[in-house]
């Protein structure tokens, strides 16, 4: 998710301008939009604690008179009872919104929609500017009342019926562009806004309008880009939590919430989930500069992260679609989000299967020692079928081969030498001019490069030429502010021009995707195996292959981590054990340990395939360990790998109520159980040994996951069977010996712990190869 937790927010109520708007605490504005009124009541006795200043306009009771009184005194018995019944029912309040009420307003019955949610008012109050201090959460019930002006277009329970035709259209859409266009048109027809846009973010949160539906007289924004600064990080974080936001009148006068600070917390009310939340004055000014009189935004999410927005603009005056209409539009946004995820996963599965077939063919060709390795890789299919590029250069076993657009040999050698100097297994850049300007590589064929450095100066090099981009921005992105004089002061104000501004981006190739980099890394593994098989120096090739497979892991935040791999002492060959530790896009860390059946080069190749597959699945799909194992099992079966392996996958993440600990979600495919050492030194396995079937046995059987909360000072140990299995002892005895040693060595840091465990349990060396991953949550020993 978008991380706003580390923003150094300015104090609530401080003046906001373009200098500090990225630090504005927009979740605590202290006021509401006056299209409705707001009440904060204690839970569960329902006594009014805060109210908006405009309360009297809808209830006939002033905000001063409401404070300290029961909700029934403010809304009347029937309306208050309806609110309390809904609030007292089991489940999420937001799923039952709105509560349809009739209020007595100046002697006339007024239909009103009550929108309810609970706000934490004590127990997570900010320390300084945003840091959590812990405590027992206390909640209050937030009641937002909106007049249901005019007849309701349809009842809220019939939301789906109102949009079922559009949902059917979305399900029939054959392309992403059809999905975008259908959604934009349907939301405009549903809500009546003058313009509706589907707005997609890139990796840096610059936005592009990919679909638009508008009234004829408006100029088009289709295809225009808008800089990330237009929607700062804390606004994106709110969009990930509250999926719809309406500004019915850009010229509204905010109605303050009184008292300004909640009596229980002494701080302003957190209005993250409020439908009436007042918005940033900078955003209001921005909309005004665009000529917008009303706006509505609907979040588009993928895996809980903001992917884009449905942005609705109205120009002829205020515009307030009723709650049920907004809910239907939000439902369409959620449906589009799901279809986008489905479509992306379908495309990725097709691409991955095609790549897998190419990799399998290349691996088989590379093993054919009757052919030169360069010829095998430039055949059909070849390495240009694996990664799209303008050209490729291979220097393997003293032979150079090329395909596609070429570069002089000395240029290719210089690029490869630069990449080897980084120390990385795979080096990818979309701009050699930026990252290695001294190479002076020709931009037309070698603007970007992906390099696989190999032992003894060998390499595989893909090249991409310059891809000149013409980006149409909504206004100059390099001049996002104008100076406004206010008396003796000069204030920075949002730009007023949104005319199409074209930027020409040069010096970059088509970027290399994370999936392409992972696939190149997997090919590197197979190339190393081929070189190993063809090489006379078995030991040296084996060590190189091991280093390529077992890369340096990341260090999870708030933890200390160490890994070890020990080959079997009796033979200089690569085994099937491996570990992997890497960060996921959602900020969590994935821990993997596995063991492929067998002790030969085929096992090592299979290990590399499973490692690459698992990484690809984790990055392109769900981060849930059980789902990763299920999909990995299906891939093994679908690709005909014929592999048998035990694998354990764990996901380490910060819990919502972070007290310094971490949540470990994990699932096992026949692997030995992790060992957990608590801060007091006690050690226990997290599950019975050999939980679940091995991978490759029954791909139709779903995996199940578990989770455990790790306290600060806890240590988790993942290991393979070479550490606990002996010819003269059973697994259970070996696990018991390992647990005892883990408990006794509690004063060692994780690096020393791994070495001490290997020394104690393997005094005569390993009979089988061994992999270890040890994670300690700070504070750690040593």
- Other Cβ atoms less than 10 A from the Cβ of 689: the count is 16
pLDDT above 90 (res 765): no
All residues at 6 or more sequence positions from 45 whose CB lies less than 8 Å from its CB, including other chains: 70
Inter-residue contact 712 to 773 (CB < 8 Å) = no
Residue 485: the pLDDT is: 40
Provide the pLDDT for residue 123. Answer: 52
Rounded-to-integer distance, Cα 419 and Cα 412, Å: 11
3-state secondary structure of 17: coil
pLDDT band at 504 (very low <50, low <70, confident <90, very high): low
Res 296 pLDDT > 70: yes
Greatest extent of the chain over all pairs of C-alpha atoms, in Å:
98
Contact by Cβ (8 Å): 446, 433: no
Q: How many helices (H) and strands (E) does the chain have?
A: 20, 34
State the first-to-last Cα distance of the chain, in angstroms, to the nearest integer: 34
pLDDT of residue 782: 61
Q: Which residues pair with 373 in a beta bridge?
A: none
Tell me what the mean pLDDT of segment 258-281 comes to.
90
Looking at the chain, the whole-number percentage of residues with pLDDT higher than 70 is 84
Q: Is the pLDDT of residue 156 over 70?
A: no
> Does residue 12 have a pLDDT over 70?
no
Would you state the pLDDT for residue 626?
Answer: 92
Say how far apart CA 597 and CA 580 lie, in whole Å: 18
pLDDT tens sequence across 437-462: 998 888 888 899 999 999 989 999 99
Beta strands in 59-179 (DSSP E): 99-105, 108-122, 126-127, 131-132, 138-147
Give the pLDDT score at 685.
Answer: 92
For residue 544, the model assigns a pLDDT of 52
Q: Which is it for the CA torsion 344, 346, 349, 350, positive or negative?
A: negative
What does residue 64 show for φ and ψ, rounded to 5 degrees?
Answer: -65, -40
User: What was the pLDDT predicted at 481?
Assistant: 43
Digit-coded pLDDT (tens) for 181-211? 988 998 999 899 999 999 888 877 888 888 9
| 241, 228 contact by CB (below 8 A) | no
Question: pTM (2 decimals)?
Answer: 0.53
Q: What is the CA radius of gyration of the chain?
A: 30
Distances (CA, A) of 699 to 116, 343, 355, 609, 721: 45, 23, 21, 17, 23
pLDDT of residue 490: 36
Under DSSP, is residue 395 helix (H, G, I), strand (E, B) or coil? strand
Q: State yes or no: pLDDT of 489 exceeds 50.
A: no
Give me the mean pLDDT over the 684-710 stretch: 82
Preceding peptide of 25 cis, ω within 30°: no
pLDDT in tens, 527-549: 988 887 776 444 444 445 555 66
Segment 390-446, tens digit of pLDDT: 999 999 988 999 998 878 889 999 999 999 999 999 999 999 889 999 988 888 888
Element (H, E) at 583: strand 577-583
Neighbours of 472 (CB within 10 A): 15
Angle at Cα 545 formed by Cα 540 and Cα 551, nearest 5°? 125
pLDDT the model gives residue 205: 81
Q: What is the mean pLDDT of residues 59-69?
A: 93
Rounded to 5 degrees, φ, ψ at 126 are -70, 140
* CA 168 – CA 222 distance, rounded (Å): 25
pLDDT at 35: 93
Looking at residue 545, its pLDDT comes to 54
């Amino acid at each position: 998710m978008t991380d706003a937790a580390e923003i150094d927010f300015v104090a609530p109520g401080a003046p906001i301008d373009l200098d500090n708007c990225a630090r504005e605490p927009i979740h605590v504005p202290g006021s509401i939009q006056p299209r409705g009124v707001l009440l904060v009541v204690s839970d569960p006795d329902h006594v009014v604690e805060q109210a908006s200043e405009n309360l009297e306009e809808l209830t006939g009771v002033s905000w001063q008179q409401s404070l300290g009184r029961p909700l029934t005194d403010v809304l009347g018995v029937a309306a208050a009872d309806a609110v309390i019944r809904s609030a007292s029912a089991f489940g999420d309040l937001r799923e039952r919104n709105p509560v349809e009420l009739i209020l007595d307003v100046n002697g006339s019955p007024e239909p009103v929609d009550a929108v309810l949610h609970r706000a934490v008012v004590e127990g997570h109050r900010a320390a300084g500017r945003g840091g959590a201090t812990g405590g027992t959460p206390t909640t209050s019930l937030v009641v937002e009342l909106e007049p249901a002006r005019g007849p309701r277009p349809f009842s809220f329970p019939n939301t789906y019926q109102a949009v079922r035709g559009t949902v059917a259209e979305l399900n029939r859409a054959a392309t992403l562009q059809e999905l975008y266009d259908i959604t934009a048109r349907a939301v405009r027809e549903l809500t009546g806004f003058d313009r509706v846009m589907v707005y997609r973010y890139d990796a840096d949160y610059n936005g592009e309008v990919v679909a638009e539906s508008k009234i004829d007289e408006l100029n088009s924004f289709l295809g225009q880009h808008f800089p990330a600064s237009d929607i700062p990080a804390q606004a994106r974080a709110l969009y990930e939590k509250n999926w719809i936001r309406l500004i019915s009148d850009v010229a509204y006068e905010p109605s303050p919430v009184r008292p300004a600070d909640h009596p229980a917390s002494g701080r302003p009310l957190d209005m993250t989930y409020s439908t009436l939340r007042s918005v940033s004055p900078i955003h209001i000014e921005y909309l005004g500069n665009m000529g917008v009189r009303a706006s509505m935004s609907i979040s588009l999410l993928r895996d809980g992260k903001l992917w884009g927005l449905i942005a609705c603009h109205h120009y002829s005056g205020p515009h307030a679609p009723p709650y049920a209409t907004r809910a239907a539009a939000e439902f369409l946004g959620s449906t589009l989000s799901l279809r986008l995820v489905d479509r992306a996963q379908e495309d990725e599965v097709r691409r991955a299967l095609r790549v897998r077939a190419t990799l399998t063919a290349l691996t088989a060709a590379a093993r054919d020692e009757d052919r030169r390795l360069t010829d095998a890789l430039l055949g059909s299919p070849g390495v240009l079928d694996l990664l799209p590029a303008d050209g490729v250069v291979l220097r393997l076993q003293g032979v150079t081969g090329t395909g596609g657009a070429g570069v002089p040999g000395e240029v290719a050698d210089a690029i490869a030498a630069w990449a080897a100097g980084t120390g990385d297994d795979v080096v990818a850049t979309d701009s050699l001019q930026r990252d290695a300007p001294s190479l002076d590589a020709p931009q037309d064929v070698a603007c970007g490069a992906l390099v696989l450095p190999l032992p003894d100066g060998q390499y595989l090099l893909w090249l991409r030429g310059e891809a000149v981009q013409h980006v149409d921005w909504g206004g100059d992105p390099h001049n996002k502010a104008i100076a406004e004089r206010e008396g003796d002061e000069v204030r920075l104000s949002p730009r007023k021009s949104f005319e199409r501004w074209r930027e020409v981006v040069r010096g970059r190739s088509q970027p290399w995707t994370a999936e392409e980099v992972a696939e190149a890394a997997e090919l590197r593994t197979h190339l190393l195996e081929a070189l190993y098989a063809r090489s006379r120096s078995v030991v040296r090739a084996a060590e190189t292959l091991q280093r390529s497979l077992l890369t340096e892991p990341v260090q999870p935040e708030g933890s200390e981590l160490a890994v070890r791999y020990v080959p079997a002492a009796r033979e200089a060959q690569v085994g099937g054990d491996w570990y992997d530790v890497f960060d996921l896009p959602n900020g969590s860390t994935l821990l993997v340990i596995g063991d492929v059946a067998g002790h030969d080069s085929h096992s090592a190749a299979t290990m590399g395939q499973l490692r690459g597959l698992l990484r690809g699945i984790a990055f392109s799909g769900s981060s849930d360990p059980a789902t990763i194992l299920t999909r990995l099992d299906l891939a093994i079966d679908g690709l005909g790998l014929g592999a048998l392996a035990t694998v354990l996958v764990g996901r380490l993440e910060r819990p919502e109520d972070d007290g310094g600990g971490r949540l470990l979600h994990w699932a096992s495919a026949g692997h030995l159980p992790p060992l957990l050492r608590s801060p007091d030194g006690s050690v226990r396995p997290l599950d019975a040994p050999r939980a679940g079937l091995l991978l490759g046995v029954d791909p139709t059987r779903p995996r199940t996951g578990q989770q455990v909360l790790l306290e600060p000072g806890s240590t988790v140990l993942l290991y393979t069977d070479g550490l606990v299995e002996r010819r003269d002892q059973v697994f259970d005895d070996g696990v018991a010996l390992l647990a005892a040693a883990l408990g006794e060595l509690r004063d060692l840091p994780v690096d020393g712990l791994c070495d001490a465990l290997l020394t104690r349990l393997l005094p005569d060396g390993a009979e089988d190869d061994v992999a270890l991953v040890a994670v300690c949550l700070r504070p750690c020993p040593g």
